[in-house]
């Protein structure tokens, strides 16, 4: 990894942990222009790829779709569409479409990314789990619920093979609650929903010991509403409390001072 890429990523991690999204945008815009000017493909790819995620997070649809267009143009120009780098960008593009209620349009991106990942990655690579989780949410949106649940189970099988994936496992279980409810109805799905909520709560407890604080707070924020929706109010309140305590320690801005348009790409 080049020095510039490592430096940019470290700075972004710090900005995201403090929710300084405007500064993160300025940083990415600068490096996009610099990468294009200097012909540094790695820097340009990083900047545009991260823009897709940032604008998705902030709910800025036009900017997010513009970043997708720029990424597709880059992949086609460099011939990297069928590489792991390209597949990761396509996965992120699919997640943009899913976030803005365009899952039907996003599915071809997920399918193309899945083809490359399954060809080039070991079957237990956690990047496959991330793909399956994202793709499952899009499939759920378009009513392909059996396929969505199958992909969640595949993701859990991969994540469960190694330690340190408890946060992602919790998110997967919470995603499944909505899929069971949508497929079977609340009453019929009650036992499956309770099982998934219980497993998610257990995984979040285990995640607290070994997960980086900024990411842990992000996960707590995303998971809390699902627990509340299903009547687990104590769990919801505890997660919200812990998330805010972490953000305060990290010097982050308060919730009311940020745009909070989180999508369901890896969350509940």
- 144 vs 238: CA distance, rounded Å: 33
pTM for this one?
0.84
197 within 8 A of 173, measured Cβ to Cβ: yes
Burial class (CB in 10 A: 0-12, 13-18, 19+), 172: buried
Tens digits of residue pLDDT in 103-135: 999 999 999 999 999 999 999 999 999 999 999
- As a whole number, the mean pLDDT across the chain is 92
Provide CB contacts within 8 A for 179, sequence distance 6+: 136, 140, 145, 148, 149, 152
pLDDT mean for each 10 residues of the chain (268 residues): 80 89 96 94 96 96 98 96 96 97 97 97 96 97 98 97 94 98 97 98 92 91 97 98 92 48 40
Structure confidence by residue, pLDDT tens digits, 68-86: 999 999 999 999 999 999 9
What is the predicted pLDDT for the residue at 214? 87
* Closest C-alpha among 65, 91, 89 to residue 77: 89
Indicate the DSSP class of residue 255.
G
Token couple for 124: 């237990």
Q: What are phi and psi of 36, to 5 degrees?
A: -70, -40
User: What pLDDT sits at residue 261?
Assistant: 34
């Amino acid at each position: 990894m080049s020095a510039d890429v490592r430096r940019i990523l470290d700075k972004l991690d710090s900005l995201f942990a403090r929710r300084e999204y405007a500064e993160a945008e300025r940083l990415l815009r600068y490096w996009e222009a610099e990468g294009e000017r200097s012909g540094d493909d790695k820097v340009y790819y990083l900047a545009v790829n991260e823009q897709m995620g940032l604008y998705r997070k902030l709910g800025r649809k036009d900017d997010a779709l513009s970043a997708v267009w720029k990424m597709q143009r880059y992949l086609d120009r460099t011939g990297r569409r069928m590489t792991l780098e390209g597949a990761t960008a396509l996965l992120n593009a699919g997640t943009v479409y899913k976030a803005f209620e365009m899952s039907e349009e996003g599915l071809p991106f997920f399918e193309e990314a899945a083809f490359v990942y399954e060809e080039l990655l070991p079957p237990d690579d956690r990047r496959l789990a991330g793909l399956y989780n994202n793709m499952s949410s899009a499939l759920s949106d378009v009513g392909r619920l059996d396929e969505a649940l199958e992909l969640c189970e595949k993701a859990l099988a991969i994540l469960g093979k190694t330690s340190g994936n408890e946060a992602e496992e919790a998110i997967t279980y919470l995603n499944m609650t909505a899929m069971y409810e949508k497929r079977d109805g609340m009453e019929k799905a009650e036992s499956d929903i309770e099982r998934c909520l219980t497993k998610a709560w257990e995984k979040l407890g285990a995640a607290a010991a070994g997960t980086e604080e900024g990411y842990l707070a992000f996960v707590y924020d995303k998971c809390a509403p699902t627990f509340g929706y299903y009547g687990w109010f104590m769990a919801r309140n505890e997660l919200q409390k812990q998330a805010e305590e972490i953000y305060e320690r990290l010097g982050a801005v308060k919730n009311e001072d940020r745009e909070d348009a989180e999508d369901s790409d890896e969350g509940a």
